[in-house]
Amino acid sequence: MAEATEDRPGTAQGPGRVLVAVYGVFALAAGARAAVQLSTRFAEAPVAYLLSALAAVVYVVATVALARGGRRVALVAITVELVGVLVVGTLSLADRAAFPDETVWSAYGRGYLFIPLVLPVVGLFYLRRTGRVPSR
């Protein structure tokens, strides 16, 4: 038997397109939210608004990496996203005074129907599932 490498679909094909689209929507939503907050109300909650901007940057990096097949960059971006959601979500619930206004990741993404909590888990699962694996 000759050994062959089984190529699974890339992240920008098939169901991966949905993942790229959702990341793109979140990049736009988080970016627009951060832009408005930073330009109009920065003094009210600078930490929260800067965290929204960070979330937007992470979503942009993940979107581009997934669309272009940059698996390593996507893995790093999505891992940073998951850690950010968990840390900011926990801190925003534990110390409400530190977050006088919500970020994209506050309360684990409650303002976005918890999609920011579920999205990186789905993204990491999809990256693992679509990785290139030698067949036997």
DSSP per position, 42-108? GGG-HHHHHHHHHHHHHHHHHHHHHHHT-HHHHHHHHHHHHHHHHHHHHHHHH-GGG-SS--TTGGG
Over residues 110-130, the mean pLDDT reads: 93
Residue 11's pLDDT is 59
- Please name which of 37, 115, 110, 124 lies closest in space to residue 76, comparing C-alpha atoms: 124
Higher-pLDDT residue of 102, 4: 102
Q: What is the pTM of this model?
A: 0.85
Nearest 5°: the CA angle 114, 61, 38 is 70
SS3 of 4, please? coil
Say what angle helices 46-68 and 15-41 make with each other, to 10 degrees. Answer: 150
pLDDT one-digit tens code per residue, 4-13: 444 555 655 6
Q: How far is CA 57 from the centre of its chain?
A: 9
Res. 2 pLDDT band, cuts 50 70 90: very low
Q: Is the predicted pLDDT of residue 111 greater than 80, yes or no?
A: yes
Q: Is the predicted pLDDT of residue 78 greater than 50, yes or no?
A: yes
Max mean pLDDT range (6-20, 92-106, 122-136): 92-106
Structure tokens at 112: 């976005």
